[in-house]
Amino acid sequence: MCHKITVGSYRLVLLESVKITRSVEALSDTAVIVLPGMVHNQTIEIEDKVKVGDAVKIELGYNDKLKTEFEGYVQRIGTDGGSIKLECEDGLWLFRKAVADKVYANKDVKDILKDIAGQCGPVPGQGNFTVEPTETVYSEDLDVYDSQNYKIRNIYLHALPFEKVQFYTRKSADSIVKKEIADAAYNYAPLQAGSKSIVLNTTGATEDGFKQLQLSDVLKLAETADRMGMPEGKRNLVLPSDWWWELVMNNEILTGQMKYQQANGVIEPKIVNYYGIKIHKSLGDKLGLGYDTNTSKKAAQGATITGTVCPAALFFCGEEVYKAGGQFEMFYLDKSQNPSGRAFEFGFQHRFKAGHQMSGDRYTGLLYKTKVI
């Protein structure tokens, strides 16, 4: 193995170890460079050569073929058991520097960020820092989901009126949530295959005119995601419940995972894992997703599964999507104020929206059942 590590204007030749840490759970990448404290019984003096804030570049490789693995700044200099330790952080370190006090009047967030970033300095390998977010700014209102209105007559004559209202509450919430799930799935799903959009078909045994989903299909999905560079750790496959049960019950690996989940006799959404993909069971048998093999595109939302339209499941990266919602609200009208209905009338409403955070560079996918002719 070979290396080329530069700190400021110096190249480090003597090296004990180097450790680079990258994680989706952390805001920044970090590196720790450990140097020997003494060479040939002489102390290495670095105080006048290396200082906090010096630029760091770490290149590693084999057979003189180097690849840049880390760029950042010296965050801290210390000692560890006679060795010299350089703790480094990527470009986020710039934003730990103090900036001048300033009052901003009639400025939007983007202008303020540009001014602050300009005081922080250049990011390694990127020249001067600019703020050009690829995230979409969502200023529109959340979508409104309404349940039907329910009428209850002689409500005070029932022995358990609360349980009756509770039944309608649960019924309304369930119908609203299913509609929201279908809308979210359709918004997350890609229109067609692309450089960062995966479209794959099932290859399992034939049942009811379609090939079933099998574990090798999930493996192919994981392999394709790796090849495209999709972030690991936040990969999600959402299956209609009938697909999910077919897949889980026909595979000992996934069935084994069910043994460690709470067995309380209640049918509820479950999650199993395979090759870094969380496989979710959605509410109900349908997500409302379809794929038209004639046009090679996502079918219209709620399209009937017939002809060239095949049922589909959703694959997405959890880091690149959003969902936003408020509380369920109940609207109530007293019987005395409802002469036309002559009943206590109530209904439910929820505000919700889901979509992609990014206007570009987003990974997503569809997995559709192959129709057997």
Strands of 38-174, DSSP E: 38-39, 42-43, 55-62, 65-80, 83-89, 143-146, 150-152
Q: Examine residue 46 and state whether it is found in any structural domain, yes or no.
A: yes
Q: Do both 210 and 111 map to the same domain? A: no
Residue 347 belongs to what domain range? 143-368
Residue 63 located in a structural domain: yes
My answer on whether 167 and 265 are in the same domain is yes
pLDDT single digits (tens) 13-30: 888 899 999 887 788 899
Q: 373 in a domain, yes or no?
A: no
Q: Which helix (H) or strand (E) holds 347?
A: strand 344-356
Q: What is the pLDDT of residues 222-231, one digit of tens each?
A: 999 999 888 8
Lowest mean pLDDT among 4-8, 103-107, 309-313, 368-372: 103-107
Q: What pLDDT digit, counting tens, does each position of 242-278 carry?
A: 888 888 888 776 776 666 555 554 444 467 777 788 8
Mean residue pLDDT across the chain: 81
What's residue 102's pLDDT?
Answer: 81
Please tell me whether residues 50 and 63 are part of one structural domain.
Answer: yes
- 105, with CB counted inside 10 A (0-12, 13-18, 19+), is exposed
Are 21 and 125 within one domain? no
Pick from 185, 179, 184, 181: nearest CA to 312: 185
The number of distinct structural domains making up the chain is: 3
182 and 271 assigned to the same domain: yes
229 domain residue, yes or no: yes
Tell me the percentage of the chain whose pLDDT exceeds 90: 28
Those residues whose C-beta lies under 8 Å from the C-beta of residue 270, and which sit 6 or more positions away, are: 244, 248, 258, 261, 280, 281
Q: Quick check: is 137 in a domain?
A: no
Percent pLDDT > 70 in the chain is: 84
Asked if 157 and 116 sit in the same domain, the reply is: no
pLDDT number for residue 133: 45
The CATH number for 13's domain is 2.30.300.10
- Identify the three-state secondary structure at position 77: strand
